[in-house]
Structure 1
């Protein structure tokens, strides 16, 4: 007979009991949906997804699906009424978007969204706008998409829908992050496609961001990195021992050794340059964080 985890079962009963008590106290409020999702996550073991996140995920997936099918009407329908009525360049931008030839198999990590929100409440009326920028992997190519979604607006219902969407090639988004003089951040609402930008060296996706790989420091061994950081957290000593990073932007990036048939892996270092201190070292793939290699003892859990 299979034995159940008593601790997990006890937590589940406690969560359910708390949910029932709160439901009785605030029947009909938005908290019910949150509690239901939280309990379901605890029981199933799946990551918790809020109602707000679910709406955003479904909108992003509908957008990517419509683009892959080159369904002009479906893409347009996802945008707010105000955008559809005022964005005079929408069709031209949509043509540029379809030129990217996004495939139905294109992957984005729906479990790694980091929503930023703006909310307004006044006299019983509500408005909510959320935004995230996420990478897309498509047959060896990479794109980044910033999608702003208004999912409720009692002040102006015409705002409900996608209010702004910028779609970047890896080359253009990398130029933005490296503050190239000829790359500009989009401004305003509507659809803005930035895919026409010359290739600028060896651009790779690492940890969900594009990086310029600017030197040929050989790939590192993960165990060697862990052993070295166990002795010193000095970034200058690390560079002297292993070589300068392959790339740098927000984090310092080194290629890691991997088998020829495996996807590339990278070492991501969090460094405070003022103190020459490495605070964390992690393994990332092209789109996200995989595991922690090392952290300073005073960096918490």
Structure 2
């Protein structure tokens, strides 16, 4: 079992706020990399990457314990960012260890813990009498908005590698689940795509039942599941604005019109 703690980029003035990008599926980090680099212009951004051996069992509890060891060793709480299943685990961590987390940003995350692209793949694979490649090609067209032919060839390969070697919940014959999510004590920001078939449009209603005063929910206009890939600048700008508001009396301040709202970013 291997976890790593990497500096994505250091800026010269060494910002006070530290961002930790949780990455349980390193093969797909190329889709997050641009946003992380943009964030590094304002914060000290580091990447927590995790992989386990193919013949090694792994559970969410194991991942949470390894992440706790990293955060305990840090000199101060960090802002956590995670996409998909990485965001789900980051949320579970912030709920369990709020004193180690300064804020939480979730990309393409539902309160329903079963809603991940990999779980949709497993459902399709177990039900449809077609090849794995055909299902991954179809899935890629739903997850990404790119019409580039080269991208269409690469993405199914990335998804296949992720399924074979990285952290997912369950298998075709045995899907594992974790408890559904609730917004933790820390300031929480949720960004989901308008056209994400994995995290459906009802996710906003589900999150509205648990988000606190001062938390935010944003719907990325025309965004699919990996909207951070083709809307990197917009996503980075929103995360930066959120994190910059966190210091001070965030949790105890009064709710205003800019908080907890569903925005469409043009």
**What range is the shorter-chain TM-score in?**
under 0.3
Q: Indicate the structure whose relative CO is greater, using CA pairs within 8 Å and at least 6 residues apart.
A: 2
Q: Which has the larger radius of gyration?
A: 1
* TM-score, normalised with respect to structure 1: 0.22
